[in-house]
Amino acid sequence: MESDDTIVEETPILNIDESDSGNDSEPSVVVTQAQKAQSSKRKRSGDKEEEYEIYARTNSERASIWQHFDPVRIKKNGLRRALCKFCNKTIAASGSNGTSGLHKHYPCPSNPKYESKNKVQQQTHLEFKKNLTVKIPFKFVEHEAFVEYTNACNGRFMLPSRHKLSRDVSKYYLDERSKLLAYLSKPTTTVHLTTDTWTSSCQKTNYMVVTAHFIDDEWNMHKRIINFRPIGSHKGEDISSDLLKCVVGWGIKNVMTMTVDNAPSNDKALDHLIKKLPNAKIYDDGKHFHIRCMAHILNLIVKEGLKEKNYHVECVANAVKYIRYSSQRINKFKKCMKEANLESNRFLCGECPTRWNSKHDMLKIACSLREVFFKYELEDDCYYRDLERMPEHSDFGVCEGVVEFLEKFKTKTELISSSSKPLAHLFYREILDIDKHLRYWATKPEFCHMVDDMVKKYNRYWGKFDELNDYMYFATLLDPTMKQQLVSHGFKKMLEYNMSSESPLSDDALNAMVREMLKEVVNRMGVLFQTYKTRFDTVVSKSSSKKTKDQQSCKSYVGENDFLDDFLNLEDSGSIEMDTELTRYLNEPRIRFTSDFDILEWWKINAPRFPIVSRMAKDILAIQITTVASESAFSTGGRVLDPYSTNLSYAVVEALICTQDWVRKSKKNIIDDIDDLLNDDDVAQDIEDGIAKQNAKEKGKGISQD
């Protein structure tokens, strides 16, 4: 039998956190390693530590904090304490103490997943600032329910006040603006701008948005809103003046193109702006600086055709309008859908007069539910009386043709509405496809009148290929899957379409004309190439110095022979002229076209082979063919400037919209409703002062460099 001085299991000495003991002054204790042992352990002779036992959790230890502690009971006085599972420290947890000491101790520094309080605060604050949900004002952080919820999730996190969040947003905006300013103001950075104007219904103020587009050194496409400020009016003089202020304020040295819609005021504004921006005339005296919005032109073409009234389309549209007029009719129609086993999440949609694609969607859904319309006739007695004529199978047949005809334009609009990938190289092929589409449907009797009007509108903007923007041809040539072959094929088709039956051209004459037209385009691209060669020819200069050394070594080898020197110099100069980098690129066979071809990735890989041409590709492929990027900013502006936020200053509005655009990683909005947060004049003044300091700093750098 063992003596009293012997312990069956050796138990480690555990320190008691005296700071958390409260009013219970208890000595240090000894614990056994058996986690759920119910038997008590005996005290060592001469040792002052008290023994205690670990027992199974009961209902009194059901709080979630107890999952990180084991309940123990002191053998001497029966008081309960909590044993930390990570550091073996015991915390007072008797009835009078509760779980407050446990919450203070957790998370334990001995926990492998432990993070310091400052780090948790910084990370949580940053994520909270970047991931504000839609329609939640910043004062939400001070709401009692949200404060209690946050403390329950993580009591160690201190919520920032709404004023601190507002300061953080302004600071974040200024920091990001400083980084963007440093990049855009580089002499080697080429930027393409899109702009549009909008009138706030709440403030009754005219706003102008300017969006910058560029491709960085890693061949990534970028879009940044750089201006969202009030404008005096929609007149060309005011637009031009504000555009110039924006470009100068950001220190942008090279604006290659600007994309706008077809408003006459934009034509006047850009004509004036070209005279003020010297680098806008980098090619052909700025004649191709102005890019017309392709989506806007496409919209005009379709609307021109839809002006033609179609008897069958009107019949179906009136039936849809009748059914959507009341909830009773809608319920009857849904009942007919269920009986016809045509239940769908999509229901009959109405037609919006200002959106042509709404007619396409309305007819498409109606045609898919044609059988339901016939069943509805039996359910509604007023259907015969209120409608002049009910839809028949022939009406739906014509409507299906209209849907098929409009589907092409809807697909094109969706294709060109992206601002996150290059689209300039698609322009030429897409307008050719539209031209072919119109010519095909013009042969159908029921569509000939509608298509004739659309062809006239098409020819006004895109019918004369010699009047198209040169950059669109260059972008096609810079597509390694298309090159000259697509350009020449388009020229040939255009000549064939315009060729009269009375004076047809032979194949040889037709091909000769195509070659001349293609040669003219390549020559104009060569002019731009020489401009880029002058600006960026570092590689060529190195190769030319190497060639000079080779010529000198050759001269010393053959001796003093002036005639031979003239011959060698003539040969070298001729080879340089005939074998430029651009010529080598164009003469290479085009690569196989695939639907998943990434043109930016191809140029990133092949840039070392074509250093100058790749510079051209980086700038030209970033050209915007639509103003969708700028128009989408007004959707954000409409949410920021809602009826509850009309007091926001102009500087704060710009900061909110620009910051949201810069930090957005998905389609979810970062900052939407800031109703009472940033109507603080001090915050607006901080933003204005920060921008002024940045501009002064950049101006000082420019003077020092000069």
- The mean pLDDT of 650-665, rounded to a whole number, is 77
Q: What is the reported pLDDT for 671?
A: 33
Which residue type occupies 352?
Answer: C
How do residues 1-40 score in pLDDT, each as one tens digit?
444 333 333 333 333 343 344 444 333 344 444 443 333 3
C-alpha torsion sign, points 213, 214, 219, 222: negative
- The mean pLDDT of 318-330, rounded to a whole number, is 87
352 band by pLDDT with thresholds 50, 70 and 90:
confident
How do residues 603-617 score in pLDDT, each as one tens digit?
999 999 999 999 999
Q: What is the reported pLDDT for 696?
A: 76
Cα 224 to Cα 212: distance, rounded to the nearest angstrom: 5
Q: What is the reported pLDDT for 648?
A: 67
How do residues 509-561 score in pLDDT, each as one tens digit?
889 999 999 999 999 999 999 999 888 875 444 444 444 444 444 444 445 66
Q: Which domains, ranges and CATH numbers included, belong to the chain?
A: 13-105 (no CATH), 168-293+627-705 (3.30.420), 301-463 (no CATH)
Cβ neighbours for 287, distance < 8 A, ≥ 6 positions apart: none
Q: What is the reported pLDDT for 99?
A: 81
- Which tokens hold the place of 131? 């991931």
Q: What is the reported pLDDT for 589?
A: 92
- For residue 652, give the nearest of 188, 6, 167 by alpha carbon: 167
Q: What is the reported pLDDT for 642?
A: 54
Cα 217 to Cα 607: distance, rounded to the nearest angstrom: 11
Residue 428 has pLDDT above 90, yes or no: yes
* Lowest-confidence region among 32-36, 452-456, 554-558, 621-625: 32-36
High-pLDDT (> 70) share of the chain, % = 74
- For residue 283, give the nearest of 52, 39, 561, 532 by alpha carbon: 532
Please name the helix (run of DSSP H) or strand (run of DSSP E) that holds residue 255, with its range, or none.
strand 254-260
Of residues 65 and 183, which shows the higher confidence score? 183
* Lowest-confidence region among 155-169, 275-289, 372-386, 395-409: 155-169
Contacts for 576-585: CB closer than 8 Å, 24+ residues apart: 580/526, 580/529, 581/529, 581/540, 581/610, 581/611, 581/612, 581/613, 582/525, 582/526, 582/529, 582/612, 582/613, 584/610, 585/610, 585/613
Q: What is the reported pLDDT for 3?
A: 40
Asked if 599 contacts 479 with a C-beta cutoff of 8 angstroms, the reply is yes
The alpha carbons of the chain give a radius of gyration, in whole angstroms, of 37
231 band by pLDDT with thresholds 50, 70 and 90:
confident
Contacts for 43-47: CB closer than 8 Å, 24+ residues apart: 44/5, 44/7, 45/4, 45/5
Of residues 558 and 66, which shows the higher confidence score? 66
Q: What is the reported pLDDT for 566?
A: 62
Cα 541 to Cα 547: distance, rounded to the nearest angstrom: 10
Q: What is the reported pLDDT for 474?
A: 95
Q: What is the reported pLDDT for 471?
A: 94
